[in-house]
Amino acid sequence: MSTDPQKQVSRPISRRDVLKSSSAGFGYLALAGLLGQQQASQAQSARARSPLEPRAPHFRARAKRIIFLLMEGAISQMDTFEYKPALQRNDGRPGPGGGTLVGSKFQFSRHGQTGVAISELMPNIARHVDKFCFLRGLHTDTPAHPQAVMQLHTGAANATLVRPSMGAWLLYGLGTENQDLPGYITVNPSPNFGGAANYGSAFLPAHFQGTRINDTGYMPNLRAQTERSLQRRQLDLIQGMNRDLQAAPGAPAEIDGVIQSYELAFRMQDRVPELLDISREPQHVLDAYGVKPGPAGSFARQCLMARRLSEAGVRFVEINQGGWDHHTGLHQGMIRGCEAVDKPTAALLADLEQRGLLEDTLVLFGSEFGRMPTAQGVDGRDHNITGYPMILAGAGVKKGYSYGATDEYGLHAVEGRMHTSDLHATLLALLGLDHKELTYRYAGRDFRLTDVSGNVVQEIFA
Amino acid sequence: MNPNQKRVAIFLLAGWILSPQLAVAQPPAVDDAARLEFFERKVRPILANNCYNCHSANNKSLGGLRVDDRNGLIQGGKRGSAVVPGDPEKSLLLQAVHQTGKLKMPPNNKLTDGEIADLTHWIKSGAAWPKVEAPNTSDRYRAKYEKLRKEHWAWQPLQKVQVPTVKDNSWARTEIDRFVLAKLEDKGLTPVKDSERAALIRRVTFDLTGLPPTPEATEAFLADQLPNALEKVVDRLLASPAYGERWGRHWLDVARYGESTGSSRNLPYPQAWRYRDYVIDSFNRDKPYDKLIHEQLAGDLLPAASDKERDENLIATGFLAIGVKDVNQRFPIRFFMDNIDEQIDTVTRSFLALTASCARCHDHKFDPVPTTDYYALAGIFHSTEHCSGLRSMMGGGGLAYYDSSKLLRLTPPAKDTKVDPTLPEKINQLTKAVEAAREDFAAIFGTDKGKEKGPDGRPLQMVARLKMQKLQLELNALTDPSLQGPVALGIRDAKKVGDIELRVRGEAEKLGPVVPRGFLSVINVPGAKPINPAQSGRLELAQWLTHPNNPVTSRVIVNRVWKHLFGQGIVSTVDNFGINGDVPSHPELLDYLATNFVRDGWSNKRLIRTVVLTRAYQLGSEATPAHTAKDPANRLVWRHNPRRLDAEEIRDAALAVSGNLDFRKPENVPSKDFKVIELRNNGPDAQRLHDYAQKSIHRSIYLPLLRGITPRSLEVFDFAEQGMVTGNRETTTVPTQALYLLNDTFVQRQGLALAERLLKRSEMDDKERIEFAYQLALGRDATAKELERAKAYLSQYEADARKVFSKIANQKPATPPKTVEAPAPKKQPGGIVVNPDDVDTSDIPVQEEKIGLTDPRVAAWASFTQAILGSAEFRYLR
C-alpha cells in the first residue's frame, strides 16, 4: 500500500475504514434524525470550524501517525540492543572516561537477515529486527530525568518556559484523522519528570494537548445520562455560554480548548467505550500480547490499546513503561522490565504489520537517554547522555537499517550523531512537516519544536 | 518448597519480627592484610558457594538476610544479627551451620568441620571485610559549589530594599504596588484597568475561602461605597473557618498529604486525618509559620503546657510520617533509608525549594549539595523513629505490615482513664498462649500430619493456624494502642541517636565515613544553634530553618502565597529555587515581602491581607495586544491572571450553589475505620471510598484521600500529585472534564438540587428564577439576551423532554434504567508470600447509577442548571 492518497481510494473498504468513518456513521445519522435539520447543521458547522480537522502536510507524508513506546527512566542499551564486543572483552578494565567497564551479563546473538545482535532479554522483539531502523548515535543535553524527559517530549528543558509537546505540534500541523477521538492520547504517563507538561500544549491552543488514559482503558462518564437529542440541546446551551465568555474582555485563553473539548467529548461517547475495551479482542490476540490484569500486564494492555487507537486514526499515541533507572539492581531489574515489554512490543509490531498498519504508522521505541558502559556500584549503570540508541519501525523508514554508531564501548556517539532536536526534525519530516515551517507565534517570536536547531536525517527515509 | 523456604514462610506468616538492629559497627582497620586475605581465600568462597543463592542482593535474600555484605550479616535478617564480630557464640550464622538447633543451614547439606572452623575464626578475629571505598567526588565540585553558594540569588541574605520611586504616583496604593509599577514602567507598560467589583468579590472570596460569594455578600459589597469595603470583606473571609479549609489545603499539597502508603502495596494510614485537621486548625488560628515548622518537624521535642498542646504537637509530626512508603522490601535497612530519603526530600523541597535528595547517591549535579550534606541531614532522621504504624517485609498478607508499636498515643478522653489492674497478667497469659499456638502450628505446617483432615474436615495445619491467628487477634486487642484510645501517626526520637556513615552511591549497606549531623552548607545561617547530641537534631533543624538569618525559608513561603493569589509565583518554579529553577521576576519585592513576613511574626493571614489589598491584586484581567507583545506571560503583573478553579473549588462551588453543602466536618468517613491491610484499587474498600466520595456533601478537603484512589471529582480537574511536594498544580483542558460535567452523577445531582432549589421558590416567576441562578452560580446578573436564551431553552427542552419521555414510557417491554454492575471483587491470591506484581491493582469502574427524571419541567430546569455548572464561566475566575 502506498501513502499516495489516490491509490488508497481503490482498495476495498476495510474494518479500519469503517472504524474511522463512523463519525459520519450511525451515531451521526441518529443524531441528525433526532435533532431536526437545523440543529444538525449547527453541529456540523461547529465541526467544520474545528481546528482538529485534518490538514495537508507541507510535503509528502511518509507516515500518518506515530506510536511512541517510552521506556521512561532510561533502559540499559548495553544489555539489550547495543552489542559491543570490545566492552565484553574489556570487562573489569578502566573505561576511557573513568570508571570500570562492565560488559553485559546477558548473552547476545544475531538475528534475522541483517544479523543484528540482540540480547537474550528481548527474544520476541529480536524476531522483528529486520523491520528496524536503529538510530545509534543519539545524544541529549541533561543527565537528569526530569529535564531529559521534558526535552524528549517538548524539545526543551527550560524551567521558565514550558513548550508544547511533540504530539501537540503534530496535531497543530496535521489535525486529526478521526474527529470522534482525541488526536493525541497518552497512556499511563508518569506524574513526575515534568508530568502533564510532557503531553501539554503549553502556549499552543489547549485543544492540542494530549488526553491521558490509564492502563486499564477505563474512562469514566462515557455514558450519556440523558437521551442524546436532549443532551445535544444542553450542550448547545453550554457552548453558547462559553462563546459569550470567549468574546468578553479578559477571557481566559483556554476557552477555545474548553469549547473544542466539549464537542469532542460529545462524540467520544459513541466511539470510545468499545474502542478502549480490549476484552473485545479475540483470545488469541490477547494471548499474543500477553494481556493480564495488574501491573505486570500493564504494558501488554497499553500495546493493545495503542494498536486499537492507531487503527482508529489517533495521530499520536504514547505508551509508557517506567522503572528502568537501574543505578542498582540492574540485573534483576532488566530481567523483570524486559519481560514486561518484550512480548507485547513484538505482538504490537506483528499485529500492525498483519493489518497493514505499519505502512502508514511509525513506531518509536526508546528512552530519554541511555546508560553507561561502566559500572555503578556492584550492579548498576549510571546515566549516559552522550550516546544511546532508539528504534524506529514502520512507515517511512528503511528496514533492517542502522544509522549512526557509538564508540567501541558504547560511551559516545561518534558517527551519525543525532541530537534530540534532530530526532524531532526527522520525525516531523516523516509526517510531512517541515520543522522550520511549523511555527507558532507567541511572546513576539515564532516558536518551533526544534527551536533554533534540528537537522532532518534523510538517510533513514525508505 | 524446600525446607528453608518453608521455614521462612512460617516466619512471615506468624509475623515474627525482631526489631532490625540498626547499630552498625565500623569495619575494622584494613591494614591487617592477613585477615583480609584469610577472608578472601577461605570465608568468601564458603558464603558464595553455600549461601548466595538464597541470601544475596542479586538473588532471593530470604528472611531479609544478605551474606554478600558485612552490614547485611551484622544487621541480619528477621531473626537478628547473623554475625556479631568477635563473638562467635552470639552469631546466628554459626548456630545455623552447626545445625544443632532448629535452624539448619545450608539446607540439605552441612559444611565441613574445617569450613565451620574457618567461619568461627573469621568471626572471632573481628569479621574482617574489605573496606568499601567512598569516591571523593566532592573535589570535582568544590570550586563550582563555592561559586554558586556565593552567587546564586536564592541563597544570598535577604537584601534591605528601598521601596522604588515611580513616575505615576497616583496609581499605587501600597508599597507592593510601587514595586510592581516600577517594573512595568521600566518596560514602558501601564497596568490595565481595575477589576469590576462583581468579579473582584468573586475572585477574593474564592482565593481566600475556596467558595463562591453568596448573592447577599455580593450585593452588600456592590452597595458598599466606602473606601474600606474590600477590607471588611477580606477580614470577614480571613476570620471564617473556610479560610483554613482553603489555605490548609494549599499546605497539604506541599506536605504531599495522602492517607495511604501508595507504593506497590497500598496500606492505609487510618489516622492521617488528624494531621489534616491540625493543618486546617493551624491556618484558621493563624499559627505563625515558624511555629508551624517547629511543630511539624519537632513537635515531640517541644515543651507543652497541657495534654491538648502535647497532643497537637505530636499530631503535627504526622508531616514526616505520611509520605509514600514501599513496605514490600526485603531489607529493613533499605526501608529505613528510603523513608529517610522521603523525609529529606519533603523537608528540603517544601521549606527550602531545594532538591537535596539528589545528593543521596552522588554530589548534586546542579545545586551545591554535596553528599556529605545529605548524610548530615540523614543522621538527624536516622536518629528519629518513624511511627506510621508500619513495618517492611517481603510479601505478606493481612495485618503483616501493621506494627502497632509504631504509633503515638494521644491523651485518652477522661472517661477511658480507668485501667484494668489485671491487664499485665492478661497480656502475659495471652502472649504465652500465642507462642504455644505458634509452636504447635510450626510443628505440623507442611508435614503429612498437618495435611490430615481434622474432625471438621479441615486440614489440621489450617485449624492450628486459625487458632494461632485468633489468639493473636485477642492479644492485639489488648496491646494495640489504636484499640485503646486515640493515636496519631508521627515521629519520635529513636532510642539511639547519633551521626551516621555516608552511604556510598546511596546503597544502604555500603558505609563510608561518618558524617556529623548538621544542616545544608548551601545556606549560611550565622548564629544557628548546633545540634544537641542527646537528641535527634530535628529541633535544631527547625530552628535553623526559621532562624532570622536564614533567607530561604521566608522567601519560599511568601512566594507560595503570592502564587496562590496571582496565579504564578514571583519565582515561577515554586518548589525549586535552585540552579534549574526560575529566577524571580521581582527580586526586590520578594525580599521585601520575606523581610516583612518575618518581622510581622510569620503571619500568613497578615501577608495575605496585605497582598489582596494592593491595587495590583485588584487589577482587571483584560489583555491588550500591546501588553501581550511585551510580556505575554504577564510576569510583570500588568493584569490579573484569569484562573481556572481548583478541583476542590469546582466541587465545593457546585455543592454551595445547589444548596447541598454541609459545612461541618464529616464524622462517618469509611477510611477512618480501615484496618492496616493492603488496599486494592479495585477492591471493595476502594469501592466504598468512591461511593462515599460520590455522595459526600462535605467540603472536598474532608474527602478520603488515599493514594491511587483519588475521588473522581478531584482527579478529573488535576488534583495534586500526592507522591511529592506539589506547590503548583497542573491545569489541563481535556475532554474527560467535559464528559464529567455532562454525565457524572455528582454533577447531575447538584444540577437537580439547584433546579429544585429554584422551583421551590413559589414567590418567583421563571425569569426571577433564572436571575437567581445566575447570581448564585456566576455571581452576576443575567443579561437580557441570556434571560431570553434561558427562557427559550427551558420551554423547548420541556417540550422535547415530554415527547422523549412518553416515547420511552410507551416502549414495551419497559426496560428499567440499566446500571453498570461493578465487577465482583476479585479474590486476593492465596498463599503466603505474594508477589505484588501478581496482584490486580487495576482501577474499578465506579458504579454508575442513572438519575432518572420523569417530570419534563424538572428535567428542563435540571438540564439548565447543570449547563450553568458546566459552563466555562462557572469554573474560571477573572
What is the b/e burial string over B282-321, where b = at least 16 CB atoms within 10 angstroms of the residue's CB? Answer: bbbebbbbbbbbbbbbbbbbbeeeeeeebbbbbbbbbbbb
A16 touches chain B (CB under 8 A): no
C-alpha–C-alpha distance, residues B619 and B641, integer Å: 9
Q: How far is CA B111 from the centre of its chain?
A: 50
Percent of chain B with pLDDT over 90: 59
pLDDT tens-digit series, residues B110-130: 888 888 999 999 998 888 887
Residue B800 has its nearest CB partner, among A159, A212, A229, at: A229
Residue B166 CB partners (closer than 8 Å, separation 6+): B172, B178, B181, B182, B185
Q: Which of A195, A219, A257 sits opposite B730 (nearest CB)?
A: A195
Residue B157 DSSP class:
P
A-chain CB neighbours of B800 within 8 Å are 229-230, 233
Kindly state whether B366 is in contact with chain A, defined as any CB-CB distance less than 8 angstroms. Answer: yes
Contact A9/B at CB under 8 A: no
Strands (DSSP E) contained in B441-518 are 487-488, 490-493, 500-503, 511-515
Contacts of A235 in chain B (CB under 8 A): 742
Q: What are phi and psi of B500, to 5 degrees?
A: -125, 170
Q: Which of A250, A266, A294 sits opposite B621 (nearest CB)?
A: A250
Main-chain dihedrals φ then ψ at residue B803, nearest 5 degrees: -65, -50
What average pLDDT does the structure give for chain A?
87
Task: Provide the Cα torsion A153, A155, A157, A158; round to 10°.
Answer: -130
Nearest CA in chain A to B722: A191
Nearest to A264 among B623, B735, B793 (CB): B735
pLDDT of residue A169: 97
Q: CA B40, CA B219: separation in Å to the nearest integer?
A: 85
B732 touches chain A (CB under 8 A): yes
For the four alpha carbons of B97, B98, B104 and B107, in that order, the dihedral sign comes to positive
Q: Are strands A405-406 and A184-187 parallel, antiparallel or unpaired?
A: unpaired
Question: Chain A residues with CB inside 8 Å of B737's CB?
Answer: 261
**Letter string b/e over residues B109-139, b meaning 16 or more CB atoms within 10 A of that residue's CB:** eebeeebbebbbebbebebbbeebebeeeee
Mutate to test the interface with B, among A226, A239, A291, A447 (most CBs of B within 10 A): A226
B612 neighbors B209 (Cβ within 8 angstroms)? no
Distance CA B776, CA B659 (A): 10
A294 at interface of B, judged by CB pairs closer than 8 A? yes
pLDDT tens digits for A51-85?
788 999 999 999 999 999 999 999 999 999 999 99
By DSSP bridging, strand A132-139 and strand A388-394 are antiparallel
What 3-state DSSP class applies to A365?
strand
With CA atoms as reference, the chain A residue closest to B620 would be A250
- pLDDT tens across B540-587, in order? 999 999 999 999 999 999 999 999 999 999 999 999 999 988 899 999
Q: Is B550 on the interface with A (CB under 8 A)?
A: no
Residue/partner pairs of A23-32 with CB below 8 Å, 24 or more apart: A23/A178, A23/A179, A23/A180, A23/A267, A23/A271, A27/A180, A27/A267, A27/A270, A27/A271, A30/A228, A31/A228, A31/A229, A31/A232
Helix (H) or strand (E) holding A287: helix A283-289
CA of A249 vs chain B CAs: smallest distance (Å): 5
- Using the predicted structure, report yes or no on whether residue A117 has a pLDDT greater than 80: yes
A242 vs B contacts (CB less than 8 Å)? 871-873
Q: pLDDT value at position B135?
A: 55
- Name A320's bridge partners: A70
Residue A235, pLDDT > 70, answer: yes
pLDDT score for B14? 33
Any residues with CB less than 8 A from the CB of A437 and at least 6 apart, and which? A58
Tell me what the mean pLDDT of segment B630-649 comes to. 95
Partners of B873 on chain A (C-beta within 8 Å) are 241-242, 245
**CA B209 to each of CA A61, B564, B623, B652: distance values in angstroms, whole numbers, following the listed order:** 53, 12, 27, 10
The C-alpha atoms of residue A360 and residue A314 are separated, in whole angstroms, by 12
Which carries the bigger pLDDT value, residue B858 or residue A34?
A: B858
Question: How far is C-alpha B528 from the geometric centre of its chain's CA atoms?
Answer: 29
Q: Grid coordinates standing for B46?
A: 564458603
pLDDT at B134: 56
Which of B140, B371, B709, B743 should one mutate to test binding to chain A, selecting the residue with the greatest count of A CBs within 10 A?
B743
Number of residues in chain A: 462
Residues 80..119 of A with a Cβ closer than 8 Å to B: which?
none
* Mean pLDDT, residues B650-658: 98
The pLDDT score that the predictor gives to residue B376 is 96
Q: H helices of B353-459, where?
A: 371-382, 423-444, 448-451
Out of A196, A223, A230, whose CB is closest to B800?
A230
Res. B24: pLDDT tops 60 = no
Residues 577-636 of B with CB under 8 A from A: 580-583, 620-623, 629-630, 632-633
54-73 in chain B: CB under 8 A from chain A: 57-58
Residue B739 predicted with pLDDT over 70: yes
pLDDT in tens, A147-187: 899 999 999 876 567 899 999 999 999 999 998 999 999 99
What integer is the mean pLDDT of B370-374?
A: 94
Q: How far apart are CA A106 and CA A128, in angstroms?
A: 19
Q: What is the pLDDT of residues A366-407, one digit of tens each?
A: 999 999 999 988 899 999 999 999 999 999 999 999 999 999
> What is the SS3 string spanning B98-145?
HCCCCCCCCCCCCCCHHHHHHHHHHHHCCCCCCCCCCCCCHHHHHHHH
Helix (H) or strand (E) segment spanning residue A219: none
Tell me if B676 sits within 8 A of B272, measured CB to CB: no
- Type of residue numbered B113: D
pLDDT band at A22, cuts 50/70/90?
very low
**A261 lies within 8 A of chain B by CB:** yes
**What is the pTM assigned to this prediction?**
0.81
Rounded distance, CA B611 to CA A163, Å? Answer: 30
Candidate from A182, A225, A336 with C-beta closest to B735:
A182
Residues of A in contact with B736 (CB under 8 A): 211-212, 219-221, 265
The mean per-residue pLDDT over the stretch B359-365 comes to 86
Residue A326 and residue A381 in contact, taking contact as beta carbons nearer than 8 Å: yes
All 3 cell numbers of residue B606? Answer: 497578615
Question: What local confidence, expressed as pLDDT, does residue A6 receive?
Answer: 33
Chain A to chain B Cβ contacts (< 8 Å): 221
Burial of B477 (0-12, 13-18, 19+ CB in 10 A): exposed
CA distance linking residue A369 with residue B763, whole number of Å: 69
A5 touches chain B (CB under 8 A): no
- Reply yes or no on whether the pLDDT at A301 is more than 80: yes
Give the C-alpha distances (Å, rounded to integers) separating B523 from A344, B148, B158, B373, B376: 50, 11, 12, 11, 14
CA separation for the pair B601, B873 (Å, rounded): 38
Three-class secondary structure of residue A371 per DSSP: strand
Q: How far apart are CA B747 and CA B870, in angstroms?
A: 8
- Candidates B491, B500, B257; CA nearest to B371 is B500
The three cell numbers locating residue B506: 546511596
Residue B787 touches partner A, C-beta closer than 8 Å: no
Q: Which of residues 238-277 of B touch A (CB under 8 A)?
A: 264
Quote the pLDDT of residue A225: 83
Compare CB distances from A214 to B743, B843, B864 and report the shortest one's residue: B843
Taking a C-beta distance cutoff of 8 angstroms, is the pair A164, A208 a contact?
Answer: yes
Q: How far is A247 from chain B (nearest CA, A)?
A: 12
Q: Are A75 and A324 spatial neighbours (Cβ–Cβ below 8 Å)?
A: yes
B744 interfaces chain A, CB cutoff of 8 Å: yes
Taking only residues 664 to 693 of chain B, the set having a beta carbon closer than 8 angstroms to any beta carbon of chain A reads none
Enumerate residues 490 to 509 of chain B having a beta carbon within 8 A of any beta carbon in chain A: 504-507
Residue B515, classed as helix, strand or coil, is strand
pLDDT in tens, A264-289: 999 999 889 889 999 889 999 999 99
Mean pLDDT of chain B: 87
- What is residue B506's predicted lDDT score, i.e. its pLDDT? 84
Decide if B73 contacts B39 (C-beta within 8 A): no
Q: What is the pLDDT of residues B460-472, one digit of tens each?
A: 888 888 888 888 8
pLDDT digits (tens, 9 = 90+) for A318-377: 999 999 999 888 999 999 999 999 999 999 999 999 999 999 999 999 999 999 999 988
Interface test with A, best of B734, B819, B821, B871 (most A CBs within 10 A): B734
The CA distance from B380 to B541, in Å, is 8
Whether B329 shows a pLDDT value over 70: the answer reads yes
Is the per-residue pLDDT at B22 higher than 90? Answer: no
What are the chain A neighbours of B742 within 8 Å (beta carbons)? 221, 224-225, 231, 234-235, 262, 265-266
Asked if A354 reaches chain B (Cβ–Cβ under 8 Å), the answer is: no
Cβ contact, residue pair A220, B732, below 8 Å = no
Minimum-distance CB partner of B573 among A159, A214, A246: A159
CB pair distance less than 8 Å for A222 and B863 = no
Which residue on chain A is closest to B68 by alpha carbon?
A378
8 Å CB contact of B738 and A191: no
A247 touches chain B (CB under 8 A): no
Q: What is the model's pLDDT at position B522?
A: 95
Mean pLDDT of B678-686: 81
B247-303 pLDDT, tens digit per residue, is 999 999 999 999 999 876 889 999 999 999 999 999 999 999 999 999 999 999 999
Question: Helix, strand, or coil here: B394?
Answer: coil
Q: Residue B417: which pLDDT band, with cuts at 50, 70 and 90?
A: low
- The band of B454, judged by pLDDT with boundaries at 50, 70 and 90, is confident
Residue of A nearest to B735 (CA): A261
Q: Say if the Cβ atoms of B742 and A255 lie within 8 Å.
A: no
- DSSP H or E stretch at residue B643: strand B643-644
* Helix axes of B856-870 and B766-778: crossing angle, nearest 10 degrees: 30
The complex's ipTM works out to: 0.82
CA trace torsion B56, B58, B59, B60 (10° rounding): 70
- Asked if A461 has any chain B CB less than 8 Å from its own CB, the reply is no
From B504, B435, B501, select the one nearest B472 (Cα to Cα): B435
DSSP-H helix ranges across A197-254: 228-247
3-class secondary structure, A101: strand
Interchain proximity A250–B623, CB inside 8 Å: yes
Separation CA B653–CA A38 (nearest Å): 35
Nearest to B632 by CA among A127, A98, A441: A441
- Which pLDDT score, from 0 to 100, does residue B257 have? 97
